[in-house]
Structure 1
Amino acid sequence: MNEPTFRQIRYFVAVAREGQVSRAAKELNVSQSAVTTAIRQLEEIVGAPLFDRHAGGMGLTYEGTIFQDHARRVLSALDEAVRAPNLRRSEVEGALRLAMTYTVAGYYASPYLERFIRAFPKVTLQMVEAPREAIEDGLVSGRYDLALMLTSNIANQEGLLYETLLQSRRRLWVGAEHPLLEKPVVTLADVAQEPYVMLTVDEASNTAQRYWNHLRARPRIAFRTSSTEAVRSMVGAGMGVTILSDMVYRPWSLDGRRVDVITLADPIPTMNVGLAWAANVEHSAAVQAFCEFMHRG
């Protein structure tokens, strides 16, 4: 049996993230045929289809979702193996008081935190989850050294400095049999005709209002919830649609229902994740090490 190559795994992860071969090829700076061939070879090795092909692009199958989790770990381990000799020569020590918002803690931070703790065993990482307002106050007051948060939501533009590490595009989530999957172009006006499941956690409803304000139409909100998994289950069951970021997207709900995504024709702002800290505060060695680590991420 042939073994998957790192190139095939890297191409797979890119397609899973982008949802389209063309986007993945552009990101990887290779031809679309190279990506398509790598995916086909990988599926032959695995012995199962990893993607569902449809008019809107590529969606992970159940087997593809499982493979994606392992593929990400493989690439992270390889990256750490390359960087570990330099990182472990560091004698950085001390405490790092790190605050995180709910979405960042649940869908972004864990793999980075795990690798940072291994790379810098002498740094004591003190972590707390808090709402944006509390984090901003905590950074300014000195209660926290650093934050991993949604930088696109930051309100205190004068007292804080920040930098974005990830821009996660927002797309429309629909159930697997939804009629909008058959439309070549889908707009916010189309979405306004559908029952809408509104996520409220981390100010998601406030963010949504920003791009809906450009239209006369408004979403027909059928349900509001702070649970991303509740949104996923309701969309998968055909009870409504929603617009959320790729960072929190998973193709299957907890009850095993398929959730597909559609790229909207209207411009939708990305959800930005990054680091934030108080202005005019000198970073400790531990904070500097964490920032550098996240840049290399």
Structure 2
Amino acid sequence: MSLSFRQLRYFVAAAELGQLSRAAVELNISQSAITVAIRELEETLGARLLNRTAQGVELTDVGRRFLSHAYAILASVDEALKVPDIESTIEGTLSLAASYTLLGYFLPYHLQRLATLYPRISIRLYEARRDEIEEGLLNNRYDMGVLLADNVTNPELSVERLFASTRRLWVPAQHPLLQKRAVTFADVAKEPFIMLTVDEAAQTAARYWQDTNFQPHVILRTSSVEAVRSMVANGSGVAILSDMVYRPWSLEGKRIETVTLKNAVPAMTGGVAWSGRVEPSTPMQLFLEYFRQTFSSPHLPSAALRQGRSGSR
């Protein structure tokens, strides 16, 4: 059995975060996929890399030594991806609009990589609401939009879904729901609820709550993700948000935990949209192809989905 790029990325995520469950959230994959990949890696190397503990996982002596090699290999691969090719000489401009969530929690990492791959393509970036992006695409104010794909309503737009980010319940550390084997909407309905409103999040939440016999006990509606994060971390309430915007710590340094609900909750789906009335330009084609290749990869970098450390809400 040979060593793979995927195994290295999964091992590094688990080593850095100290928990297989947290690494699974970071990589937007199942915990079993990480477990299998690390076991295969250990079998290939003939040594144990991680010890399982009650709190999570910790590096063995061999694991600590191998981690430095894993970093070097991954850095070399990233550097190789920056090697110029004929496409790096292509010139042009791309007018790109993005909604609040994807501009803040998704795009920066990809914009940096696109600038490296295509240094002569100038991207003019705008933040706008979903309805503004749709109108701007149809009126040629924007070439492309990056937005929550399941919210797009205009049939004249072409939409390509790129990824789905799981929604989970956010609770403060030591919350009683963390001790339950299965948490349902009935449990959540008993808790004070912080409702995020930006990017039509409240409308989306209303739709999936309507499929239950319960309603959230909303004590605050806010357009600020950081306000939700702080309110939850300080024990003022709970929230249901996607893994894309999750971070384990609030600005005050307090811990936030996540719980996967027993009930089905639709994932947040991000995608790219453009007008079906126009022939995509070369910069548009390259932009779209970059995302197709990135999200078809089985070893997607953790930063790709959750830049900085990493439908509708």
TM-score by length of 2: 0.77
Pair 1:19–1:120, CA change in 2 (3 A): closer
Instruction: Report if the CA contact (8 A) 2:7-2:37 is conserved.
Output: no
Among candidates 241, 266, 272, match of residue 238 of structure 2: 241
User: What is the alpha-carbon distance in structure 1 between the residues aligned to residue 240 and residue 176 of structure 2?
Assistant: 16
Instruction: Report if the CA contact (8 A) 1:151-1:274 is conserved.
Output: yes
Residue matched to 2:111: 113
Q: How many residues align?
A: 268
RMSD across aligned positions (CA): 3.2
What's the secondary structure of 1:254's corresponding residue? Answer: coil
Among candidates 114, 129, 132, match of residue 130 of structure 2: 132
Residue matched to 2:200: 203
Instruction: Report if the CA contact (8 A) 1:145-1:277 is conserved.
Output: yes
User: What is the alpha-carbon distance in structure 2 between the residues aligned to residue 222 and residue 88 of structure 1?
Assistant: 55
User: What is the alpha-carbon distance in structure 1 between the residues aligned to residue 90 and residue 285 of structure 2?
Assistant: 9
Instruction: Report if the CA contact (8 A) 1:80-1:115 is conserved.
Output: no
What's the secondary structure of 1:18's corresponding residue? Answer: helix
- 1:43-192 equivalences under 5 Å are 52-53=55-56, 80-85=78-83, 87=85, 89-156=87-154, 158-192=155-189
Instruction: Report if the CA contact (8 A) 1:236-1:258 is conserved.
Output: yes
Quick check: 1:223 aligned with 2:243?
Answer: no
Q: Alpha-carbon deviation of 1:43?
A: 8.6
TM-score by length of 1: 0.80
What's the secondary structure of 1:196's corresponding residue? Answer: strand
Pair 1:290–1:215, CA change in 2 (3 A): same
Deviations 1:27-56 (CA, angstroms, capped at 9, x unpaired): x69356458999x83699xxxx9x944xxx
Amino acid at match of 1:41: L
User: What is the alpha-carbon distance in structure 1 between the residues aligned to residue 6 and residue 160 of structure 2?
Assistant: 30
Structure 2 segments unaligned to the other structure (5+ residues):
15-19, 58-69, 295-313
Amino acid at match of 2:101: T
User: What is the alpha-carbon distance in structure 1 between the residues aligned to residue 244 and residue 291 of structure 2?
Assistant: 17
User: What is the alpha-carbon distance in structure 1 between the residues aligned to residue 245 and residue 144 of structure 2?
Assistant: 23
Residue matched to 2:293: 296
Pair 1:43–1:107, CA change in 2 (3 A): farther
Residue matched to 1:61: none
Quick check: 1:274 aligned with 2:274?
Answer: no
Pair 1:36–1:152, CA change in 2 (3 A): farther
Residue matched to 1:65: none
Amino acid at match of 1:10: Y
Amino acid at match of 2:172: G
What's the secondary structure of 1:231's corresponding residue? Answer: helix
Among candidates 15, 18, 21, match of residue 24 of structure 2: 18
Identity %: 41
User: What is the alpha-carbon distance in structure 1 between the residues aligned to residue 199 and residue 254 of structure 2?
Assistant: 25
Deviations 1:128-187 (CA, angstroms, capped at 9, x unpaired): 00000000000111110011111021121x111111111001000000010000000000
What's the secondary structure of 2:30's corresponding residue? Answer: helix
